[in-house]
Amino acid sequence: MKLATLRSEHPDGRLVVVSRDLATMADATAIAANLRTAVEAWDDVAPALQALHTELHAGRHAQPFDPALCAAPLPRAPQWCDGSAFLNHGRLMEKAFDIEPAPDAQTVPLMYQGASDDFLGPQADVLLPSEADGIDFEGEFGAIVGPVPMAATPAQALGAVRLLVQINDWSLRALGPREMRSGFGFLQAKPSSSFAPIALTPDELGEAWRDGRVHLRLQVRWNGEHFGAPHGGEMDFGFGELIAHAARTRRLSAGTVIGSGTVSNTDRAAGSACIAERRVLEILEHGAPRTAFMRFGDSVQMQAQCERTGDTPFGRIAQRVLQWQP
């Protein structure tokens, strides 16, 4: 089933179920007021939500669905842990920031803990203080989990996946190198992340969900121009491994969001899901970057797309970057 969150006076928004074609929705607040509540009580409420989803496709309770009214599926979450599961991207970023690779990078996922109190909706303007910070988008996929016990195996961790999401994990590249060298990790370099409107159960993807990976191309456009379409199936660590890594020394509470990191392919013809990666490729090819980072007024669009049907199961992220005004 497909779920979304409409903006409301409540910080967690209002839960709706959405049709597979993203044309209609049905109010789900009689079952669970919001998605956070639903995930925390998943075993109790999921059957009722699925029944409502079935009724919606039978033409009952249908209202028009407008993604412009959506918040992030989880406007706030108990925890946000973002991995770097595409080793190709990690290798390129090591070159970009002159970082020594971790000796166990091939076997232990990289991951940082980001802010989860202010996720942005699919069409929210992104307000940032300065173009000099190196504004960059980062397209990726994510999993919303139920409770995960400490030291869960990858198989147990994968079984805890409740919903899948599509994410734009914004980065400020000029601030990243210092924070990485500090040994304490990202803080200022990682403003609030944005989400496509739909959170869906893995079965909605059919064969595109296998081995703990989303096997779809992530179509990225910058100011209306094609930027890249890397494939999510090239993850070196699947979501089972990422979730188990996050839970190695602590349990994860229901509603925790685990990110895949920037989708990246070894085939350069696929393009990139972030500007930094394109700049590194330009350095390797031309000796210097040719692409600047984002400017205020720029826009970015992202949608995961099935190559066979053209369907976009998560909907679309479509945002502008604007200067924050005090």
Q: How confident is the model at residue 176 (pLDDT cuts 50, 70, 90)?
A: confident
In the predicted model, is pLDDT for residue 126 greater than 70?
A: yes
In the predicted model, is pLDDT for residue 182 greater than 90?
A: no
- Please tell me what DSSP assigns to residue 68: G
Identify the CATH assignment for 80-323 out of 3.30.1330.60, 3.90.850.10, 3.40.50.970, 3.30.2350.10.
3.90.850.10
Write out pLDDT tens, residues 190-227. 999 999 999 999 999 999 999 999 999 999 999 999 99
Q: In a 3-state reduction of DSSP, which class is residue 299? A: strand
Give the residues across from 83 on adjacent strands.
111
Amino acid at 100: E
In the predicted model, is pLDDT for residue 293 greater than 70?
A: yes
First to last CA, the chain: 41
Provide the percentage of residues in the chain whose pLDDT is more than 90.
85
What pLDDT does residue 90 have? 78
Q: What is the CA radius of gyration of the chain?
A: 19
In the predicted model, is pLDDT for residue 251 greater than 80?
A: yes
> What's this model's pTM, rounded to 2 decimal places?
0.96
C-alpha distances (whole Å) from 248 to each of 162, 173, 215, 252, 288 are 19, 29, 26, 10, 40
Of 10, 161, 138, which Cα lies nearest the Cα of 76? 10
What pLDDT does residue 69 have? 98
Residue 94: both structure tokens together: 């090591």
Q: How confident is the model at residue 96 (pLDDT cuts 50, 70, 90)?
A: low
Beta carbons of 125 and 313 less than 8 angstroms apart: no
Q: How far apart are CA 52 and CA 310, in angstroms?
A: 26
Domain boundaries in the chain?
2-69, 80-323
